[in-house]
Amino acid sequence: MPKPEGGSPPVTSRSLEALGLSGILERSLFINGAWRVPAGGRSVDVVDPATEAVIGQLALGSPGDVDEAVRAARAAFAHWSVSAVAERAALLGRVHALILERAELLAQAISLEMGAAINFARASQVPLAAEHVRVARDLLASYPFAREEDGFLVSREPIGVCGLITPWNWPLYQITAKVAPALAAGCTVVLKPSELSPVSALLFARILEEAGLPPGVFNLVNGTGPDVGEAIAAHADVDMISITGSTRAGVQVARAAAATVKRVTQELGGKSPNILLDDADFERVVPLGVASAFRNVGQSCSAPTRMVVPRAALAQVETLAAQAVAFMTVGDPASTDTVLGPVANPAQFARVQEMTEAAIREGAKVIVGGPGRSEGFARGFYVRPTVVSEVTAGMSIAQEEVFGPVLCLMPYDTVEEAIAIANDTPYGLSAHVQSADPQAARQVASRIRAGQVHINHPNWNPLAPFGGYKRSGNGREYGVLGFEEYLETKAIIGATA
C-alpha cells in the first residue's frame, strides 16, 4: 500500500454546496407529498469521514412527525393498494430512469456522506440500488396476485403501511431494496434512513416526488433510532416493519413492534465464512476473497470476513492475502485511484481498533495491518486494512462482527472441521465456498446454516433471496421472495367454479 511522504496526503475538500445541495438537510421531512422542516429544533451533525469536517446539520424528526407520516400513509393506502399493476410498474420505471440519470450526483453524495471510494459508489452503490427498482418493476409483469386451487382462491394482497428502517453502510441500496418492492406490492411507506448518511435518502425522495408518486404513498422521517425508529415500530397503524441494521437494533425494533403483533422482517449482523477446499485455485480465490471481505471497506453485513483454509496451505494463503492487501490503495474517496476510503463514522473507527486489539490479545497473528490509523493520515477515519491468522473459533474476532477491513484466517484439518467452524457463530447471513469441484462445493454449501451461499465468487444476482439464519434475522429481501414479504395471503373459499 503506498505510504505518502511528509504527513497527511491531500484530501479533496468537498461540500454539499459544491454538489448543488445547499439546505438539503434542513427540510428533512417528506410527508403527504410536501417537504417540511421538523418543528422540534433538534439536529445532528453530518460529518465527512474523509476529513472529519461537519458538512451540515440534519434536522431531526420526532414521534409526532412519525404519527403524521403514518396517518398520511394510511389514507393513501386506500387508493394505492387497489391501483393498477401497470400504474405501479410505470411509476417504478420512471424512478429507475431518474436514478440512472442522476447516478453521478448520487454517487458523489454517497461518497461524501459515508466515505465510499468514488469508483465504488459509481460501480456498485448506485447501479445495484437501481437494479432493485428494475427488478420490482419487472416482477409486476408476471406475478400471480390470485390463483385458483381446488375449491378456493388464493389472493395475495398488499400488507398495508410499511415502516422501513435502513442503515448507513449501503444508504441508497438498502432503501431501494425495501421501498421498491413495497410500492410494487401496493403498500404505502414511512421510511427512516440512517441519520449518519441521510443525503442520498433525501435525493431519493426527490426522485420519487419527481416521478409523480401520489401524496402519502411514500413518506420520509429523518431522526434517531430511539425517537423515530422505535415510534415507527410501535405505531399501531403500521402493519409491517422491515429493518436492516445491527442485531442489537433488530432486537429493539422487534420488542417495540411486539405489542401490536405486526410483521417484522430483519436483515441483521453477520460473520460470514469463506471455506477454501484443498483443491481450490488459491492464486485466484484468495485475492477475490480479500476483495469480497474488504468491499465497501468491510462495511457489509454479508462480508466473508472468516477465511477458513486448509492448515497445510495456511502459509501460502497468508502470503497471497498480504499481497492482495498491498494492491489496495487507501486514500481520498474522491480519488479514482482509491480502493479503500475511510470507514463511515467515528464509532466504526473505534470499533475496528477495539476488535483488532482484542484479536492480538487473544493470540491472533497479524499478517498485515493492525491497530491504528492508516499511515500518512492525520485526520479522517482511515483504518489499516488488516489480515490476522491462526484465529480460533473461541476468539472474539471469530464471533463478533467488526464491520471494517479486517480478515481472519482460520485453519482446518478436515472438511467436517471446516463446516463446523463455518457454523460456529451466532450468525448465518451469508457464506462462500471455493473448490475446483462444483459438486463438492454444493455438498459443503448445503451444510452451512446461512441464507445465501456463494460458490467460486459468482456475480451478484438481484433475484436471489437474501436474508439470515439464527441472529442474522428473519424474512428475505430481493427477488420474488423479497417482494412477497410485503403481501398478505387471503383464501376465498367457494370462489371457484
- Grid cell 421510511 is found at 191
Residue 408 a catalytic site member: no
Average pLDDT over residues 448-459: 98
Q: Cα–Cα distance between 179 and 190 in angstroms, integer?
A: 9
Whether 168 has a pLDDT exceeding 70, the answer reads yes
Global confidence as pTM: 0.96
Q: Which pLDDT tens digit goes with each residue over 319-334?
A: 999 999 999 999 999 9
Residue range 273-461 in CATH 3.30.390.50:
no
Instruction: Name the nearest CA neighbour of 162 among 145, 143, 178.
Output: 178
Strand positions, DSSP E, 311-461: 365-368, 386-389, 406-412, 427-428, 430-434, 452-455
Burial of 181 (0-12, 13-18, 19+ CB in 10 A): buried
Instruction: Report the C-alpha gap between 180 and 332 in whole angstroms.
Output: 32
267 is catalytic: yes
Q: What is the mean pLDDT of residues 288-297?
A: 98
C-alpha cell at 392: 480460533
Q: Which of 68, 162, 187, 301 is catalytic?
A: 301
How confident is the model over 334-343, as pLDDT tens digits?
Answer: 999 999 999 9
Neighbours of 190 (CB within 10 A): 29
Mean pLDDT of 64-71: 98
SS3 label, residue 214: coil
Mean pLDDT, rounded, for 338-353: 98
Q: Give the number of other Cβ atoms within 10 Å of residue 74's Cβ.
A: 18
What is the structure's pLDDT at 2?
39
CATH architecture entry for 29-268+474-490: 3-Layer(aba) Sandwich (3.40)
Where do the structural domains in the chain lie, given as residue ranges?
29-268+474-490, 273-461
- pLDDT tens by residue, 90-121: 999 999 999 999 999 999 999 999 999 999 99
pLDDT tier at 11 (50, 70, 90 boundaries)? confident
pLDDT at 13: 73
Would you say residue 489 has pLDDT above 60? yes
Mean pLDDT of the chain: 96
pLDDT of residue 497: 59
- Catalytic choice (131, 195, 230, 267): 267
pLDDT(56) > 90: yes
Q: Exposure pattern of 33-66 as b/e (b: 16+ CB <10 Å)?
A: bebbebeeeebbebbbbbbeeebbebbbbbbebb
Query: What secondary structure does DSSP assign to 291-348, as a single string?
Result: HHHHGGGG--TT---EEEEEGGGHHHHHHHHHHHHHT--B--TTSTT-SB---SSHHH
Report the share of the chain in percent with pLDDT over 90: 95
Instruction: Give the residue-averaged pLDDT of 399-416.
Output: 98
Per DSSP, the three-state class of 234 is helix
| DSSP 8-state assignment for residue 196 | T
Q: Averaged over 185-211, what is the pLDDT?
A: 98
Q: What is the DSSP letter of 90?
A: H
